[in-house]
Amino acid sequence: MDAKTSPIGYSESEAVSENHGDAVKGARRSRVSGIDRALQVIDHLYETGAPCGVYAVAKAISAPLSTVYVIVDDLVEKNLLSRNADGTIWLGSRLYHYGLAYARSLDFMSVATHEMHDLCRQAGETVQVCGRDGDHMLVLAMADGPSHFQVASRVGTRVPLNWTASGRLLVGHLPEEERIELFRHCARTSPTGRADVDPVTLSTAAAKALEARLSIQAGESDYSVACIASPICDRDGQCVATISIVLPEQKAFSDEGHYVAQVRSSAEKIERLMGWRGH
């Protein structure tokens, strides 16, 4: 950013009048200060979520009005901000293109796996990220909890959709007829005999679970094992994956609310980091 954008910018003559070392240090300070002020303006617009006048921005960020006018003019000229007919300013088209480029660079599994390990540490239990593979739920990633509790499903395990909490969430966004037909041909009796196989019941449960952003199953696929899952949905509302806490059935229901809050928070954080959920 050039010197006119900075509230303490050095002119060329001022830089020449000092020794070379001081000039370099001064120029570096100038650029940082100008960038900081520009970011304060952009951050304020982003946080308020609506266009506003330059005076209101200057007051909000505690900056001199003259300085903010210079910065805003420069940002508008560079399409980082736009100026409306009534004089208010808003985020510019250039920021949108930067956002698209950033979104393309994000690796979903990298984001989800990082959050999975954070949740594992917070909850002290095994955490899984799961996706859909046709008629099955697929374990995509897994972080083992510190306890001796063993989970049978590992990375790469495929389980019928009707056996798991995640399985229901993964199809909850589908049209009702499609959900019913899917469960009609893919529902299987689980080893414990506790998994529902009725397609209509499963379809209804899937839709409700997605709406509630929560699905809980206990003892349906493995004896004495519970799973508390929350959906990870893209910007179109489609469940692309789930994050879940897998733990002993008795332990799950002794502090259900605590685990529910944690897993929902993790799913929402992944969506925010991927740009699929508003900040």
Q: What is the pLDDT of residue 169?
A: 97
92: closest CA among 103, 78, 104? 78
Q: What is the pLDDT of residue 31?
A: 42
Q: Are 156 and 181 in contact (CB under 8 A)?
A: no
Class of domain 3-103: mainly alpha
> So where are the chain's domains?
3-103, 106-273
Q: What is the pLDDT of residue 278?
A: 62
Provide the 10 A C-beta neighbour count for residue 18.
13
Q: What is the pLDDT of residue 248?
A: 87
| pTM to 2 decimal places | 0.65
* Sequence-separated (6 or more) residues with CB below 8 Å from residue 130: 137, 138, 139, 140, 164, 166, 170, 229, 241, 242, 243, 244
Q: What is the pLDDT of residue 202?
A: 95
Please report the DSSP string for the chain in residue order: --GGGSTTPPPHHHHHHS-HHHHHHHHHHHHHHHHHHHHHHHHHHHHHTS-B-HHHHHHHHT--HHHHHHHHHHHHHTTSEEE-TTS-EEE-HHHHHHHHHHHHH--HHHHHHHHHHHHHHHHTSEEEEEEEETTEEEEEEEE--SSS---S--TT-EEEGGGSHHHHHHTTTS-HHHHHHHHHHH----TTS-S---HHHHHHHHHHHHHHT-EEEESSSSTTEEEEEEEEE-TTS-EEEEEEEEEEHHHHHHSHHHHHHHHHHHHHHHHHHTT-S--
Backbone angles phi, psi at 112, to 5 degrees: -65, -40
Q: Which CATH architecture has domain 106-273?
A: 2-Layer Sandwich (3.30)
Q: Are 76 and 89 in contact (CB under 8 A)?
A: yes
Per-residue pLDDT of the chain (279 residues; tens, 9 = 90+): 443 334 334 333 333 333 444 444 444 444 447 889 999 999 999 888 899 999 999 999 999 999 999 999 999 999 999 999 999 999 999 998 888 777 677 789 999 999 999 999 999 999 999 999 999 999 999 999 887 677 777 898 889 999 999 999 999 999 999 999 999 999 999 888 888 899 999 999 999 999 999 999 987 777 788 899 999 999 899 999 999 999 887 777 777 788 999 999 999 999 999 989 864
